[in-house]
Chains A and B, each alone.
Chain A
Amino acid sequence: MIRRALAVLAAVAVLAGCGSIRTYRFALDRPAGAMSPARPAVFLEGQLPSTNMRELAIVEAVGTGNKASAETVIGAMQDEATRWGASAIVRVKIDCAYSQCHGWGVAVQFVP
């Protein structure tokens, strides 16, 4: 019985991998009503789009271990921004180190 439980725990540990990704958010406004089917566009710091926009939330992601990559962190931020109905994430800044990767940005909705 104990061996079976240990095997299950080991399998869960292997499937979970040696890293984690955590997402944080801070609301600046109400979420946009409709979710866009497209993934939010990403604009790095200093590359503001030339359209009017409404700030929805600050989104942030921290990846550790094998999730400490810009790809994973930006993907997590896009997932979070999608929940807010964002058209894009602007001011995106990614800082990665040996075992951690941190990213933040502002989820915005383009308004005509």
Chain B
Amino acid sequence: MSVMRLLPSLPGLSLLFALGCSSVGSSAVRTDGGFAGRHMGAVRVYAVVPPSGVRVIGLVEVHAVNEEANVETLMPVFMKRVADIGGTGGVIDDVQTHYEMRTEWRTEHYSYPCGYRSTCWSTRVVPYTYQIRMLRIMGRALLPIDAPGPPAMPPTAALPPATPATIAPPPPAKAPSENGGPQ
């Protein structure tokens, strides 16, 4: 089957995707190494100043394009993902807007004069370029500092200890020589 025979069905496929698929995507990652149990209660969102007495347990990101790229659509998803990794609160760190130009091929029918008082019809595929807007909300999931879980540790203390096999034994201390050496 040639590509030209497939092209007229692209608008239909696009419509199908537009009706059936959502552009909303999200990620939630627990970063403190704790148990990723889901929080079943309410989630509080802080957009300016996070409260005191909380610790960060993970990162959350949500995004969407065009009609779905708004806070009314994305914030409920953000709260759900915070709860998914066990957070009771979320703080919004950044809201980014990104624009992109997309080109897709569309089929159009056109007419042209042919012969004496005759009109012919034909079909052609033309490029159609449009702008899309992507909205991304980045944030962190929070938990009260006294909630059960691994203690919040500074990053330097969280480094894994080196295994003994990778550490060379220290050189044996030399005995000071009899005819000199550092005193």
Complex contact B97–A95 (CB within 8 A): yes
| Top-10 shortest CB links A-B | A95-B97, A97-B99, A24-B70, A106-B47, A26-B75, A26-B71, A102-B97, A24-B72, A60-B71, A58-B71
Collect the chain A residues with CB atoms within 8 Å of residue B135's CB.
102
For the residues of B in contact with A, the DSSP-based class is strand
Complex contact B70–A55 (CB within 8 A): no
B135 to chain A minimum Cβ distance, whole angstroms, is 7
Interface size range on B against A: 10 to 19
Complex contact A97–B75 (CB within 8 A): no
Interface size range on A against B: 20 to 34
With an 8 A cutoff between CB atoms, is B147 at the interface? no
User: Complex: how many Å from CA A60 to CA B135?
Assistant: 11
A75 to chain B minimum Cβ distance, whole angstroms, is 18
B78 to chain A minimum Cβ distance, whole angstroms, is 9
A45 to chain B minimum Cβ distance, whole angstroms, is 9
With an 8 A cutoff between CB atoms, is A7 at the interface? no
11 residue pairs A–B, Cβ–Cβ below 8 Å:
A24-B70, A26-B71, A26-B75, A53-B48, A55-B47, A58-B75, A58-B92, A90-B48, A95-B96, A95-B99, A98-B99
Collect the chain A residues with CB atoms within 8 Å of residue B92's CB.
58
